[in-house]
Amino acid sequence: MALGDYTLAKRSGLQREIPNRPRRYVTVYYSCDSLIKDGTNLLSRLCNDQDDTDGLLRLVPNDGKEIVEFQRTKEVGAGADLKVVNWGTKGIESSKYARIVPNDEVQTFRYFVNSVVTHQVRKRLKRDGVLILLDEFDVIKNKDGLGSLVKSLSSSEIKFGVCGIGHDLGELVEDHGSVERLLEQGAIPVEPMLNHETIAIFDRAEDLFDGKVNFDT
């Protein structure tokens, strides 16, 4: 769907939610965990995520960066703060980005995302924006201010997708009323699976286990 393929939405009966012009995004995916204390900690994680497939750093281009620190070591420890790691023949080369604002994860995050929009989304990939998907959002302990933070960082070219488990949106994002109303406007109601769809999932599982596992449906 992030690439403009709305087949799944159509099959789910959500045609009314589909925009007239398909939008195509560059995606960033991060699965939260219970060790994330608050919004600042979450942004720090996003800025340090070096996942080659889903991480934010994979999208930050060399064009527009200035190397302010260079070192060659045998291995990278846990303190590889905001570094891009390239495996070379003589150990590991680490280059540290410029324009990192010390002790200010919000501004550093803004710089990274704006750099992605300017150099990757617009120039190279010709897409509409960057979509940051935050999974397991409900496990973050202190969500105070997170809704406001997401709202302030969002724009026509920067979008967030928040996924998690909660009785309602207010439980998922504890914040002031305007943010909750904004989430309600952007929430997509998804109906429960039909019985035959649920049964098909269990039938598929039984087939994969060659009948060694059976489910009473």
Task: Note the pLDDT of residue 211.
Answer: 81
Task: Note the pLDDT of residue 32.
Answer: 92
Task: Note the pLDDT of residue 95.
Answer: 53
Mean pLDDT of the chain: 76
**Domain ranges for the chain:** 7-186
Task: Note the pLDDT of residue 15.
Answer: 85
Average pLDDT over residues 159-167: 80
* Higher per-residue pLDDT: 64 or 36: 36
Which pTM value belongs to this model? 0.67
Task: Note the pLDDT of residue 48.
Answer: 80
Crossing angle for the helix pair 39-48 and 146-153, nearest 10 degrees? 50
Residue 177 has pLDDT above 90, yes or no: no
Average pLDDT over residues 84-102: 47
Which of 57, 23, 46, 30 is CA-nearest to residue 133?
Answer: 30
Hunting for tokens 């397991």 — which residue is that? 136
Length of the chain: 217
Task: Note the pLDDT of residue 101.
Answer: 57
Q: What is the CA radius of gyration of the chain?
A: 21
Average pLDDT over residues 154-162: 89
For residue 131, name the pLDDT band (cuts at 50, 70, 90). very high
Residue 91 has pLDDT above 70, yes or no: no
* Higher per-residue pLDDT: 167 or 191: 191
Average pLDDT over residues 112-123: 85
